[in-house]
Structure 1
């Protein structure tokens, strides 16, 4: 192993930061910014503009997520991310040219495919290969990219839309993603430390083969049989807990622009309300940056289950703040943005960390492929449900109440993940199986 080269993992962390910022920050937080333009241009209602994401992830998500997880483990994160970059860019360019509802749905299917092949899933596996001791912190830094990208895109989209219209705004963002990410995926990303003759965390061979390191190395390098994982309570509690929590986050996030523009600030024109909304939405993402850094650090220092519980209960506590927002009281909107952003920032990032904690990294792609599929379906369905409830009742009260209940259910599921003396019970059982087999 090469001990003289500077550790290449820092380049990997930087590449993941940029990838997460553009494939997830720009797209996930950018597309809802255009919902009101779809309503104005095509006359679609709220359930319709949120339905494409839901339908794509419900129908395509299970297939795309599982196949992407298998492809990442089989072919490498790098190869999958090259293809995924093209999918993501094509989604935005395609949406910029749509003229009918079927095109809207088609490009959201492409978006679902791009999300699992260039978004969090391949980056989670990539970083888990490159980092052991620093995994939580590096995952936090990469997820900061989502916050940075999400904080930038409202201003970027607002500026492009004001100067060139919403269609060219989408087109320019899509081409920007392709121009930046494709060279990074091809020339910078290396799937594993061994590809450049190095070890995780930049360790020397002597450090890596010490008793403590060797134990962690062995656990991480032993692939977990899918049949074993599916029989453990930990897997299903993580899947159910993250599904409900992310569904609540997605449901709130996808409706923020509509909530503020069409309800709270409905007395203002679009040109008047957008400059008032953009700072609130950006504050959500800025707050998420602090959460990712802090919670990534805490996840490396403390039991991941308890760190995760802080984030999940914070989600349940933040959504009810929206009930206090009114056109005469926008101050609580900023309070909501701070707390919701903090909980949202940690929510997504902690899932691969606790899965790796329970089952190691060798099968992380396949396990996260299943979990992300479930999470994506919840994240997609909840905005549609909230939109449908609004179309029936004319109010977000019942929808936001439902999201709060879902967040609480997600937190309760995490409470019951079995740990013993700070170690997942599933990992202890796996180690016993490995000892028996050897």
Structure 2
């Protein structure tokens, strides 16, 4: 029996959890809020985006803590609580009355309450369900970020234009919860058991002995290399995505066009994640990553080195999205 046959439920739930979690909602929507929020409160764009620094610094503390908690209470519980907490934190964002300090504290709250919805929680379960096709499964799950990136920009732009930024924060926060919570609650299971049949029994036995302990992992060179690479990657990705709307605005694009360009990027993220997932099952994973990082670099050079037309903007979206 294929791993996908008995693991598809958890895979689907993990993909939806990733789509509706803190990483996707924050990175692919925040740039659309900078104009309306700063106009209403009289803030500068750097003051607005300092919230990202607060979010990232808070994440440095909550990330290891949520991993520790997940080991104690389980990934399923942490994921469900994270989705609920993230949604509530977005509602709180909509209540700000113009205080910068409260704004920054709100984003620290997003990091704390939404930590359980990080992609590492959802992909962590896949290690229990998939061995031969683990790369494909992780690629499918991470394609959830692309699905969110494809759907969210037009939705956010519509809500802001027609109902205001406060309604937009509430809408995407509560909307993500309404979509994700029933699916995750019903389908998200941490590991196979004997009820899944013979293959499930084999997988369950493998899960018990798979991988390194935390103590052993932190003693390896690979652990620290991965940590450094992920740290730098998140900085670049968060910096680019959060400022993408501003960059496109300065290039002369209308907000509706920017939403379309961002949606194209999201579509290419889906394709790119699926490609990477399939490739790492067949080829040396660091080599695959290096190739896609190179492609991303080309996209960034086009972005900063030329005056963009609609055609070149779409090319940038395609290249960066794939990578």
**Conserved 8 A contact 1:147-1:285:** yes
Q: How does 1:378-389 map to 2 (within 5 A)?
A: none
Deviation of the 1:152 alpha carbon: 0.8
SS at match of 2:106: helix
C-alpha deviation, 1:192, in angstroms: 1.3
Contact 2:93 2:106 in 1 (8 A): yes
2:61 to 35, 47, 63: 63
> Counterparts of 2:62 and 2:282 in 1: how far apart (Å)?
34
1:89 alignment counterpart: 87
Pair 1:282 & 2:281 matched: no
1:302 and 2:283 correspond: yes
User: How far off its partner does 1:277 sit?
Assistant: 0.8
Q: CA–CA distance in 2 between the matches of 1:323 and 1:62? A: 29
Confirm or deny: 8 A CA contact 1:52 1:105 kept in the other structure.
yes
Instruction: Report how far residue 223 of structure 1 moved.
Output: 5.2
Can you list the C-alpha shifts for 1:413-436, whole angstroms capped at 9, x where unaligned?
xxxxxxxxxxxxxxxxxxxxxxxx
For 1:385, the equivalent position in structure 2 comes to none
Q: TM-score of the superposition, structure 2-length normalised?
A: 0.90
Looking at structure 2, the residues matched to 65 and 120 of structure 1 have their Cα atoms a distance apart, in angstroms, of 11
- RMSD over aligned CA atoms reads 2.4
Q: CA deviation at 1:115?
A: 4.2
Taking the TM superposition and a 5 Å limit, the aligned residue runs for 1:51-130 are 51-58=50-57, 60-99=58-97, 100-130=99-129
Query: Is 1:132 aligned with 2:119?
Result: no
3-state SS of 2:144 partner: helix
**Which residue of structure 2 lines up, in the alignment, with residue 264 of structure 1?**
251
- Residue number among 342, 355, 363 corresponding to 2:322 in the alignment: 342
Please tell me whether Structure 1 or Structure 2 has the larger radius of gyration of its CA atoms. Answer: 1
Compute the displacement of 1:242 (Å). Answer: 2.2
Aligned length: 319
Contact 2:143/2:269, CA 8 A, preserved across alignment: yes
Task: For 2:190 and 2:176, locate their aligned partners in 1 and report how far apart those are by CA, in whole Å.
Answer: 21
Give how far 1:178 is off: 2.2
Query: Residues 245 and 315 of structure 1 are in contact (CA less than 8 Å); yes or no, is this contact kept in structure 2?
Result: no
Cα 1:41/1:147, change in 2 over 3 Å: same
Partner of 2:173: 174
2:222 — aligned with what?
Answer: 234
Question: What is the DSSP-based 3-state SS (H/G/I as helix, E as strand, rest coil) of the residue aligned with 2:16?
Answer: helix
Q: Confirm or deny that 1:197 pairs with 2:177.
A: no
2:156 corresponding residue in structure 1: 157
State which drifts further: 49-58 or 221-230.
221-230
Counterpart Cα distance in 1 of 2:113 and 2:44: 26
Unaligned runs of 5+ in 2: none
Alpha-carbon deviation of 1:46? Answer: 2.1
Q: Which runs of 5+ in 1 are unaligned?
A: 344-438
- Please say if 1:332 is aligned against 2:312: yes
Q: Normalising to structure 1: TM-score of the pair?
A: 0.68
For structure 1, which segment, 174-183 or 62-71, has the greater mean C-alpha deviation from structure 2 after superposition?
A: 174-183
The Cα shift of 1:227 comes to 3.7
Q: Does 1:37 align with 2:36?
A: yes
1:8 deviates by 4.1
CA distance in 1 between counterparts of 2:6 and 2:59 reads 33
Please give the secondary structure, in 2, of the residue aligned with 1:133: coil
Tell me, in whole angstroms, the C-alpha distance in 2 between the residues paired with 1:124 and 1:290: 18
Report how far residue 137 of structure 1 moved: 0.7
